[in-house]
Each structure stands twice: as C-alpha cells, then as structure tokens.
Chains A and B, each alone.
Chain A
Amino acid sequence: MKKMMNQLGESMKTARRWQNASKAAIAVSALSFLASCAKDAPQDTWQPAGPNAERIDNLQRPVFYVAGIVGVIVFAAVAWVIFRYRDRGQAIPEQTHGKPALEIVLTVIPVLILLGVAIPTAGTIFKLAKTSDTEMTINVTGQQWWWEYDYPAAGSNAEQYGITAPIVTSGQLVIPENTKVLLRVTSRDVIHSYWIPKLNGKKDSVPGRVHLLRMEGSKPGIYAGQCTEFCGLSHAYMRMEAVVLSRADYDKWVANQLEPYKAPEAGTEAAAGEALFIQQCSRCHQVNGLANPDGSLIISAPDQYLVSGAAPNLTNLMTRNTFAGASWDLLTPECRDNVWNASSAYFGERYLDGVSADCLNQKDLREWLRNAPAKKPMYADPTKLTTTGGKYRGMPALGLTEDQINTIIAYLLERK
C-alpha cells in the first residue's frame, strides 16, 4: 500500500499536473464568484425586502463572514502544512501524544465562536416565531402543484381590512405593505414548503398540521418564490409570488375581490364562453356567483375529480398576472415589464389594472387550454388513473377546438 502511495505521490509531483490542477481551481472559484453576483436574482436571500428577511440577513451576514475567515485560516494552514512538511525523504520526526494546553485552547475557541453564533440565532428564531403582533391572517394551502390562498373573514381581517366574506385566490399572495401578516400554512396532499426568499425563510406545509409563517413587505412590488420541498412530478413548476400593495391599493384589491359576479352580456363571445365554461370547467373550477339559467348557483366538485380535492378558483383570474403554479405569465413580456419593474410609486396602480385583452399572453394560456399536461407534466391521462380511483393530479387535456378556446378566453378576460 505504502509503495502505491509513493508512486502516486511521484506522479502527482510532476509540474504539469500541478499546473492543470491550479488552472481548474481558479476556473471553479471564478465561476462560483461570478455566479454569486447575478443581476436579475428575484429569489436572492441576500436582498431582504421586509423586516423578517432583514432579521435573517442580519444574522447570516456576520455568520458568513466569521465562517469565511475561519475557513480561509484553516485552508491556509492546511495548505502550508502540506507544502512545508511534504515528503522529501526525510526521517519521520519524533512522535508525541497529547498537548493539553493546545487542546484546551483549540476547544475553547470554537466553543466561544459557536456561542457567539448561537445566542443571536436563538434570539432570531424567537423573533421569527412571534405571532402575538399579527395584523392579518391568511390561510396558505399547498397541493400538487400550486398554492391556494384564502383570507378568513374573521378577527382583524374583517374588522380592519374590510374582508367581510372569505376571499380565495391562487399563485399570487396579495398583502398590504408594512403589515404583519401571519400565514397559516398547510397542505391538501403531500408535503410542500412555502418560501418567498426576500420576505422570510421557508416553512413546510404538512397535511394535517397548520404551521405559522410571518410575512411582511416594506415596499410595493412582486416578490418571487417557489415550493422548496420536493413534491412530485411538477415540483419545479410549483412557484408563487407575494405581491405587496400600499394600503390604499390593497383596499381597492379587497373591494374588487368581493364584488359580486357579473355575467357576460347576452350574445357576446364571452357569453358563449360562459356556457362552455359551465359545461367543461366548472366541475373542477369554482367561479363564485356563476349560475345556471334557472338561477341556481353552480358549485364545483373538485373533490370528485382531483386527488387534492381542489382546483384554482377562477372568479378573479385576471387580477393575478401569472397562472398554473405561477409558472407562466398572463401578461405579454412588455406588459409584464411594465408592472413587474415599475417603481413602487406606480406598481400598485398597474398591478390593479389586471390583465387586459391587449396585454394577455395568448400563447401560453392557449397552450394551457389546448393541452395542459403537455405544458406542465401532471398525472392527467384519463386512461392511467387506476391507482387514484379515477382522480386526476392536475388539469387534463379537454380537447377544445380553437373556436372554443377563443370563447373561453373571451370569458376568462372578464374575470377581474
């Protein structure tokens, strides 16, 4: 064995190899350095945009620096020892065992460093777990592969924010700025995890349990996130956004969400779309207020068709600007840019405009309606549902014609 090692050592010593190795090392470190300064990084934990995320940032920066300095010292020491005491055929030096003073010092220093990290960490954990200062409460429910939000009409939601009836949306969480929002995170099927990196850390969403997560945004804007617990086929397409609005804009948003249903005018393309929607879509998707010609309300039955028992509520689809697990835009690139990159003074106004006919991203929405599972992998092939008792995971392909899609889109455009 020793002989083999020696041989290995010999060949490693050749200058060319050293050169190659150092070249590779420089390339790798340069690459990771460059990767760390990406400009457009919507999910960058180093750019907090709210007090909770700032708390985490205030903790992780010093820890990162301390760890970095310790790391550099250790690597330098190891490199120096490797070089200084490399095998040059010298005799093996005298072997000793134990040096209490040194050992104690080398134990005490890390203990002190770790204590220095642990105390502020514990403080931060407690601050992030605080719920007594909550100003608004929102239920967040994960399922394969999208997030549902509902705003209970109780407590301060009703008293201070005018949420007099429950509001349900999906994909985009809308919250007022500088408000201590508490999310009650749970799941309808498997474990997911809710994470908006610029606003707070992540929290697992576990079926049968309600986990609490603080959310607060300091200025209006859209903050991106994604599910961070592997949850099946389309985990990568389970994204979400938090939308922070000024208080005045938020009140407008609430009022709009609570507005009663307005049926399309008779004879329009949208009216044809409504009829088709009732026929094709409303067994899964709820549109609040949608009624049969005889006036009876249409109540969807997603629990009969879907494993999770839920499909996105489409009452106000066009007030959000992404869809299907926030994976595609409802806005064309120019219109999107206009909203997403607006300064905080204009952001709210533009977000509240929702999606207009001119701004609708026809391409992605049409592809979705034409064949949803082709766009986002889902277990939605009717011939392969034996293990789920005939229930889908996700939206199936419905075989709509292009004309039918036109009418459906005309109808959906009025849902805002």
Chain B
Amino acid sequence: MITTSSKLFYGLGAVSVTAAIVWTIANDGGALGAVALVFIGIASIFLGAIASYVRDGHVLSTDTAQHDSAPAAQRGPGRSWFPLGTALSLGMVVVGLVTSPGIFKVGIALLLAMLGEWLIQNWSDRASADAGYNERVRGWVVHPLEIPIGGALLLGAIVLSFSRIFLALSAEAGPIVFAILGALVLFFGSVLSIRRGVSRGVVGALCGIVLVALSGVGIATALSGERQELTVASAEDHYAVHPCGEEAEEYDGSAGRAVSAKSSVAATVTLKDGVLYAEMDGFSGPLSSITLQRSLNADILFQNEDAGMHRMIVTYGKTVEDLGGGVKKETVLQTCTAMIGQGGAQQIVVRIPKPSFASDVPYTITASGIEGASIEVMVP
C-alpha cells in the first residue's frame, strides 16, 4: 500500500536510481557518484517501505474502514506563494544569464529551493483534510533544511555587514564602536529578559529593525569602500613579496599584535639602539647567529624599535648565470621587509635553497642604514 508519506520516499528513490543510471552513462562508468545516488535510492526506498508498513503510523493495516475515512486520506486545498517565488527566480536566472554569472548562480539556487518547497507544499496540502496537521507534516520534512539554511543566511548577512563596517572604520575607532555595540546588546538583552511582560511581537520587531539598520549601514559602507590604509595596502599589493628596494608606503603597524605572527615563528629579529639581534624559541637570550633549515619556508618577524625607517635584509649568497661569450651575470639572493617605522613590524617568509658552506661569504641578516649591525645565518 502506497501511503501519503511513503510516496515522497518512493519518488525520491526512483529519481535517485534513474539519476544513478544517467550518471553512469554520462560519466563513462564513473562509479563514485553512482554509488552515492544508489545509496540515496536504497535509503529512500527503505524509508518508504517502513512508512508503508506502519501506514504512516496512523492507521492500523487491519482497519480497512479507515483507509478512506482517515484524515490522511482526505484532500485539502492549498494556497502558496512558491509559484510566485519560482517565477521570480526564473526571471533572476534569465537576468543573470545576460548580466553576471553570480546572479545566474544565485537564481539557480533560488529556483531549486522554490521548486523543492513548492513540491513539498503541494504534497503536504494533500496529506489530509486537517490543515493544521498538513502544516506540521510540511514542517517535519522541510524544517530540518529551512531552519539551518535560513539561520546561516541570516548569520552570513550579519557577519558580512559587520565586516564591511569595521573595514571602513578607522583602526582606532573600530574597537570603541565594537565595545559600545556590545554593551548596548548586553543592556537591551538584559532588560528584555528581566521584563517579563514584553511580547514576542515587540522583540521580533526590535530585532527586525536592528537587522535592517545593520544591513543598511553594511551596504552603505561596502559601497563607500575600505579605509585609506587598506586601500593603499591592496593597491601596493602589500601582501606579496617585493624585490628588495622597491618602495611601499604601508607596512604592518602591528604585526606583533597578531596572534598568527607572534606565535611560532622561526625567529624574531629586533633592531634596538643600533643593534640587531635575534630571538628563537628554545634559545635563551639574544642571538647574533641563527641556524635556519635549508629549503624551508621560515617565518621571520622583524621589529623596528629605533627612530627612522629601516628594513631587514636577509642575504643568502648569489647565483651566477652564464650569458655566453665569457659574460657572467651575478644576482645576489636577498629577501627584505618593507621600510618599517619606529614601533612597526613585518613578518616575511625566507627560503634559502643552499647550505651556507656553499658560499664564500657568510649569509647574513642586516638592517638598512645601520652600519655593522648583522646577524649570521647558518644553513646546514
């Protein structure tokens, strides 16, 4: 006996098995997708069989009189806005097709979601004559998807708005605004939770207003762009490795504050009172000689504590290229930070391909504009 709820599973099972066949043909025997689809099919048919066996859990199989009179056998009319949603997303797909692939993809996703919802709505409307029951049936099927996806979208909107706002605010104002907002949320949250009389509607409306305001400000700041330093930094391709000497205006004013930069670096090099020294986990005290592994991307953090702009320069030998006719081109191998002002820091990745004994002159770390400040780098 094919009961109301088993129909869905049987249908899904049939579609999955058909899809598996199509997949296998289309992918020239590619098995992984087909295996997944067959498993979905088997699982669906199994669930369908259980639903049939227990008669959706409502009607005893022996009670034949119930087969027509039970609420589950009754039809109910339905009203739904999913056809409208489907039409709109179809429009979006068409618009996306001529404008941008992003809109097209979102349209496709919406279209699939609307069709799915419509299908399930249609099925649940017919589940029984009891509208309340039908609504619950629909909920059982779609809520496990609707609620998490809806929640994730909402959360995404909040996070995105927040990030746009804080990228536009100045680095100094950011923490202050964040602290004030946090305090406000805490305050109103506490008030609402203490005052028992406040109705659901009021709380909902309040959240709605905040959400609309937040996304409004988010959109506005997204359009107005990120703050000045960030725009400059990205225009200079600040995060890429530059050849030594190429000037850049921006450096990480506070790399030492970032957890990722501060912890677990291979070495920290500091310029202080005209002296350059290194610190490494596992060695006590300042070092004037460090050992770095060969062919390893080693993170080195440079901190400038002196007045004026200085850069750290890691020099590790040279390559000689034979240009023919006795002409040789020597290239000194160097990696540098940008020019760093007092109190600033920058982390760079150094990869030294040859051992230090391959070079006549020692490998070194030096600071631009400071005579005699040098750290020896040994590479085994």
Give the B-binding residues of A (Cβ under 8 A): 1, 131-132, 134, 137, 139, 141, 148, 150, 152-155, 165-168, 182, 184, 186, 188, 207-212, 286, 288, 297, 299, 301-303, 308-310, 313
Contacts and interface: CB of A to CB of B under 8 A. Distances in A.
B102 interface: no
Given A152-B291, A153-B291, A134 B282 contact: yes
B296 interface: yes
Contact of A141 (B285, B293, B349, B358): B293
Contacts of B266: 186, 210
Given A154-B287, A166-B378, A208-B299, A1 B54 contact: yes
Given A139-B291, A152-B378, A168-B380, A184 B353 contact: no
A142 to B, nearest CB: 11
Contact of B295 (A132, A288, A309): A309
A208 B378 CA distance: 19
Contacts of A155: 283-285, 287
Nearest to A166: B380
A391 to B, nearest CB: 12
A284 to B, nearest CB: 11
Which of B284, B294, B357 has the most CB atoms of chain A within a 10 A radius of its CB? Answer: B294
B281 A212 contact: yes
Interface of B: 54, 57, 263-266, 280-285, 287, 289-291, 293-297, 299, 349, 351, 353-355, 357-358, 378-380
Most buried by B among A148, A152, A188: A152
9 contacts: A132-B284, A134-B283, A137-B283, A154-B378, A155-B285, A188-B293, A209-B263, A211-B264, A309-B294
A186 B285 CA distance: 22
Contacts of A150: 291, 293, 380
Nearest to A206: B264
A303 B296 contact: no
Nearest to A289: B357
Contacts of A212: 281-282
Contacts of A182: 282
A303 B291 contact: no
B295 A310 contact: yes
A184 B281 CA distance: 8
B355 A299 contact: yes
B380 A209 contact: no
Contact of B290 (A152, A168, A207): A152
Contacts of B294: 309-310
B281 A208 contact: no
Contacts of B299: 208-209
A155 B266 CA distance: 16
Nearest to B288: A154
A192 to B, nearest CB: 13
Contact of A288 (B284, B297, B357): B357
A167 B380 CA distance: 7
Contact of B264 (A141, A168, A210, A288): A210
Given A154-B289, A154-B290, A288-B357, A303 B283 contact: no
A381 to B, nearest CB: 23
A207 B297 CA distance: 8
Nearest to A209: B264
Nearest to A1: B54
A299 B358 contact: yes
A309 B296 contact: yes
Contacts of A1: 54, 57
Contact of B265 (A168, A188, A210): A210
A134 B285 CA distance: 12
A153 B378 contact: yes
A367 to B, nearest CB: 28
